[in-house]
Copies of this chain bind each other. A is one copy, B any other.
Amino acid sequence: MDRKKNISMAVIKRLPKYHRYLMELLKNDVDRISSKELSEKIGFTASQIRQDLNCFGDFGQQGYGYNVKELYNQISAILGLQKDYNYVIIGAGNLGQALANYTRFDKLGFNLKGIFDANPKLVGIRIRDIEIADIDEMENFLKSNPVDIGMLCVPQTSAQKVCDILVNGGVKGIWNFAPIDLTAPEDVIIENVHLSESLLTLVYLLNEGK
């Protein structure tokens, strides 16, 4: 896996899309696919696909295309999906509940271990067999339950505080939905989903050239 180093962010960002398309192909019992056919489906050029996959090793045979199952397994392994991940959700409003109900994450090997909220009206409610706990209990919870990923669905004003508790509790991955750029030590990975920014990009493109 030495080739994993120095892979550009652009390639990394495309990997999950390959993963999704290959999963679809597997579901539809497709055994083999050429970079040209894959290109038509996924919307990247065939040469882009060959280049991307070459970053990670020798996939596919000239003239025979890719073995879908093998490529799917390899990309899963590259993404780190050969093992499971434990996650907690902080903020059990609509967005937190939406994430808690995403069974898609289960299938990818993500295990929901806890849901936390500061709102006493939500504490005690069960979502998928997990009782929403008081946010004040999270620090202790993390001491006895190893958690890989914290999904932050709290308001902007409390996001950094919650992030600090997660980091102190040994959580190395933060999936942040709050519209704020969090501060954390270098070995903690923060992936942001800034919804307003995505919407504003849409609006810019709607007006472009007008």
CB-CB under 8 A from A200, the residues of chain B are 15-16, 19, 79, 81, 108
Contact B204 A85 (CB under 8 A): no
CB-CB under 8 A from A173, the residues of chain B are 202-203, 205-206
CB-CB under 8 A from A17, the residues of chain B are 194, 197
CB-CB under 8 A from A80, the residues of chain B are 203-204, 206-207
**Majority SS at the chain A contact face:** helix
Residue of B whose beta carbon sits closest to that of A19? B200
Contact A175 B204 (CB under 8 A): no
Contact A16 B104 (CB under 8 A): no
Contact A209 B4 (CB under 8 A): yes
Partner of A189, one of B12, B175, B202: B202
Cα distance A201–B79 when bound, in Å? 8
Residue of B whose beta carbon sits closest to that of A42? B181
Partner of A94, one of B4, B98, B148: B98
Binding site for B on A (CB under 8 A): 4-5, 12-13, 15-17, 19-20, 42-43, 78-81, 85, 93-95, 97-99, 101-102, 104-105, 108, 110, 148-149, 172-173, 175, 179, 181, 189, 191, 193-209
Which 8 residue pairs across A and B have the least CB separation, nearest first? A94-B98, A16-B197, A80-B207, A16-B200, A191-B202, A95-B98, A189-B205, A94-B97
